[in-house]
Amino acid sequence: MILASLFCALLAAAPPDEAPVSGDCSADPAALVAEAAALLAASGPEPSAEALSAARRLIRSARRADASPDLALEAADLAFAAGDPEEGGDLLAAAADAGPARLSPAELLLLGRRAVERRRWREAIARYRELAKSLAAREQAADWIPRRVRELELEEEAEAIAVPSSGPSVEARLALADGKRALAAGRLREAREGLRTALQLEPSYVEALLALAALEARAGRSGAALKACREALAIEPERVETLTLLANLLWAEPDRVAKEESLVMLDRAVLLRPDLRSLLRLSANRWAEYGDASKAQERLDRYLTRATAKERDDTAALREALLRRTKAPETSPTPAAPPFDEPASAAIDLWRKAQVYAARGDAASLAAALALLDEAERLDPAFAQAPALAAAIHERRSEWKDAEEALHRAVRADPTRSTTYETLARVLERDPARAGEAAAAWIQAEQAGSTEALFHLASSAERAGRDADALGLYRRYRDEAPAGLNAADADAAIQRLDRRRSIGVLIVALAFGLLLCGVAVALYRAKTGLTFEEWLSENPGRAPEARRIVGRLRHEALKHGGLLLADGADRIETGEAATRQATAELLVARLYGGEGSRGLVAEAEDALTALSALARADGARLNLRHLDPVFSSLLRGVRGLRRARRSLGRVARSGSSQPIHARLAARLLRSAAQSFQLASGAEIERSVDRALALPVRLDALRALLARIAVESDRTVPTLETTGEDLPTVRICASDWETLWRNLFGNALSAGRLALSAAKRRDAVTGEARLTIVLADDIPRALTADEVRARTPDRGLGVVVEILRRNEGTIDVIAAPAAGFTKGIRIELPIVESA
C-alpha cells in the first residue's frame, strides 16, 4: 500500500484548490484510478498542485462509478496522495463499513481520531475497538485502547445530556405566570398563548414546558403533552416532577410500550426521591397492573418497611393479590435518550460528565463527579447547575451541610431556578428547628414557578389550620399540575377541605340560626308576659296565695337584706381587717346560707320561682325581670348579691389581704341595697290589695239572696240591712260571691234575716277590719266550734275555708236583736293601702 508513504504528504499538505483534469470523464473506475496513479507517479515525490487536483478529480469520478470496498480502499490511498484527507477518510470509512479487516491499524487509528475530532463518539468507539482487535491479531500492544474507549463512552453519555437553561428572563417568567393564571381559570387558549410566548423567549424553560404539558393533557392532546414533557426532561433529567408527569402521561397511553416507559420513569423518580413513599406505592400498583408481580412485590415491600398500620391496611388487598399471582416474565425497557447536538462550554462539558458519574452512583464515581463540578463552578461561577448537581450528590451521601451550602451557591448563581429552592426546602425540612427557613424556601420555590411547592405550601397551610389558604393552594396545584406528582393527594385534600368547609359553613349557619332564634326568643320573652299586677288583676283568686309569697319575699329580701346591706358594705370597705372579715362572714352566712339557713338569696329566689309557678298554673307567664316596674329592681338586687358572693367570700376568708375584693363586694352590696329600696315592698303589697279590693254593696247582697232563693225555689227571706259607706274589703269577687251563696243558702229556711256591717280595728294587729253579722230566726242552735269543724266542701265549711284563705274570721254570736235566734259574724280585712 502506498498509504504509509503518503501519510506525511496527507498530514502536511494543505488542501489545494481543485483544478480541471483532462481525463476525469472516463466511465471505467479502475481505469480512472489507474490514470490517477499514473499521474501522481509521473509527478514525482512532490507532485504539483495541478497534478494533485487532477488526481482527486479522477478518484472522485471513479468512486461515483464504483462503490466497491476494494476500489474505495485503493481510491483512499490515492486521495491521501492527492492531498485530500477528507476524501481519503471518507473512502477509508466506507471501506471499513464494508469490512474493517481490510484496514490497517494505522488506517483504523486515523478513522478513530477523525471521529473524535468530529465528536462522533459512537463511531470513534467502534474504530478504537476495531483497532484493538487488529492489534491483537498482530500481537501488538493494545492495552491503552479500553481506557480510551471508556473516555469516549463518557463523552458520548455526556453529549446526550442537554445544555441546561441559564435561567428564564423576566419577560418569560411573566408570560409563564399569565399562562398559569389562565390555565387555573380554565382559559386554555389564553394559557397556551402565554406559555408559547414564554417558550419563545426561553425555549428551555422547564416550568413553561411542564405547564404546557399540563395544559395539553387537560385539553386531551396527549401527544403534545408528551412532547412538552419530554423536552422538559431532556433539559432537566433529574426533575422528579417532570418524571412523574411524564410517567402519568405515558401510563394513560393505550400501548404497552408507553406503559413500560412510564414505569421506568416512575422508577427513576423513586430513585431520585426515596423519601416520597407514595411514589413507591404508585409504582407497586402500576407494576401490578402491568402484570409484573415480582417487581410490584419488590416495590410494595420497600413501601411497607416504613408503613403505618393504616397504610398496611390500605395495601392489604394489593399484597394478597400479588401473592396469588404467578411470577410474570420481567421486562426492563430502557428508552434511549434523545441525542442532542448542541455545542457546550467547558463548564457544561464538565457538568455533563459529572451527570454521567452521578448516574453511576458508586462512591468513586460520585467523588469524580464532585471534582468535575468543583472545576465547573470554578470555570463558570454563574452556572447554577453545577452546585445544584453537587448538592444532589451530597444529599445522596447524606452530607446535609455540604448539600445546603451547594444549594445556597446555586441560588446565588441563579435565583430563578425553582428546583434549587425545592431541594433546599427539603434539606432544611430535615431539621425541625429550621421549619421556618424551610417554609421560606418553599415560598421562594413557589414564586419561582414550582408547582410542587404549591402542594407543600398547601399541606403546611392545612396542618396550620388555615383551611381557606390550603384549599386555594391545592386548587392551584391541581389546575397547574393535573397529572403532577401529588395530583391524587391534592384532589383528595380538596374534597376533604371542601367537605370540611361545607360542614363548617353548615355549623356556622346553624349556630347563627340558633343564635338568631335565641335572640328572637330572648326578645320575645323580654317583651311579652305579664307584670305581677297584670297577672293578679286577671287572676284575683290567686292573690291570697301570692300575698303570702310576697310577704315572705319582703321579709327576706327587703327587710332583712335592706337592713344588712348598706351598713355591711360600709364596714367591709372602710373597717379594720377584723371588722371587715367579721362583717363578711356574717353577710355570707346571712345572704348565702349557713348552718340551718338557706340564705336570703335562695329564699328570695324560691319565692320568685313560686310566684312564677303560680302564674304558670293559670297559663300566664310572668315577666318580672323586664316588664315589672317593682320586681325588676328586686331581681336586679338578687342578681347583684349573687355576683358579690365570690368577692365577699374571699374577704370572709382572707380579711384584708386583697382590698380589691372588699371594694368590689362593697360596691355590689350597695347596688343591691339600692335595688331593694327601689323594689318597694309597700308597692308590691298595694298591687296585691288592688287585685283583691272589693267594695261591699249591701244592695248587691240583697239581690244575690233573691237570686239564690229563686234558684233554690224557696221564698226569699226578709232581709233587713244596716250600715252605710262600707269600706273595701280584701277578697276577690268570686270568693265573695261563693261565701255569700253558702251563707245565704244556709239561711234560706229563715223567715227573717238581718245584715249589719261595721268597721273596727283588730286589737292585736291594729288592722282595720269589716265585721258583717248575718242574723237569722232559725231555731236550730249553732256554735263557732261546730262551724269551724265543718268540712270545706259545702255550706259553712266552704265559708270557713274562704275566710281562712283571705285572712278573715267567722264566729257565731247570740241574737243581735229581738226576733232573731243567732248571728253569724264574719270579719275581713279592710284595704287601707290601695
Residues that bind other proteins (CB under 8 A): 548, 551-552, 554-555, 558-560, 562-568, 571, 579, 582-583, 586, 590, 597, 676-677, 680-682, 685-686, 761, 763-768, 784, 788, 804, 807, 809, 832-833
Structural contact between residues 698 and 757, judged by C-beta atoms closer than 8 angstroms: yes
Q: How far is the CB of 528 from other proteins (least distance, A)?
A: 30
Nearer to other proteins, 75 or 550 (CB): 550
Structural contact between residues 55 and 78, judged by C-beta atoms closer than 8 angstroms: yes
Q: Helical H runs in 162-201?
A: 170-184, 188-201
Nearer to other proteins, 425 or 665 (CB): 665
Nearer to other proteins, 450 or 583 (CB): 583
Nearer to other proteins, 567 or 711 (CB): 567
- Residue 811 bridge partners (DSSP): 825
Q: How far is the CB of 630 from other proteins (least distance, A)?
A: 12
Residues whose CB is less than 8 angstroms from the CB of residue 809 and which lie 6 or more positions away in sequence, other chains included = 803, 826, 827
Q: How far is the CB of 745 from other proteins (least distance, A)?
A: 23
DSSP state at residue 597? B
Q: How far is the CB of 464 from other proteins (least distance, A)?
A: 60
Helical axes 277-290 vs 256-272, angle rounded to 10°: 160
Nearer to other proteins, 554 or 661 (CB): 554
The secondary element (H helix, E strand) that includes residue 757 is: strand 752-761
Structural contact between residues 155 and 115, judged by C-beta atoms closer than 8 angstroms: no
Q: How far is the CB of 799 from other proteins (least distance, A)?
A: 14
Query: Residue for cell digits 344588712?
Result: 564
DSSP state at residue 761? E
Residues whose CB is less than 8 angstroms from the CB of residue 731 and which lie 6 or more positions away in sequence, other chains included = 692, 694, 739, 802, 806, 808, 828
- Residue 719 bridge partners (DSSP): 753
Q: How far is the CB of 586 from other proteins (least distance, A)?
A: 5
Q: How far is the CB of 600 from other proteins (least distance, A)?
A: 9
The string of DSSP letters for 326-384 reads PPPPP----PPPPP------HHHHHHHHHHHHHHH-SHHHHHHHHHHHHHHHHH-TT-T
Nearer to other proteins, 443 or 784 (CB): 784
Q: How far is the CB of 596 from other proteins (least distance, A)?
A: 8
Nearer to other proteins, 88 or 808 (CB): 808
Q: How far is the CB of 761 from other proteins (least distance, A)?
A: 5
Residues whose CB is less than 8 angstroms from the CB of residue 187 and which lie 6 or more positions away in sequence, other chains included = none
Nearer to other proteins, 548 or 702 (CB): 548
Nearer to other proteins, 350 or 641 (CB): 641
Nearer to other proteins, 509 or 682 (CB): 682
Q: Which three cell numbers stand for residue 800?
A: 270557713
How far is residue 104's CA from residue 94's CA, in Å, rounded to a whole number? 14
Structural contact between residues 59 and 72, judged by C-beta atoms closer than 8 angstroms: no
How far is residue 208's CA from residue 732's CA, in Å, rounded to a whole number? 95
Structural contact between residues 392 and 424, judged by C-beta atoms closer than 8 angstroms: no
Q: How far is the CB of 552 from other proteins (least distance, A)?
A: 8
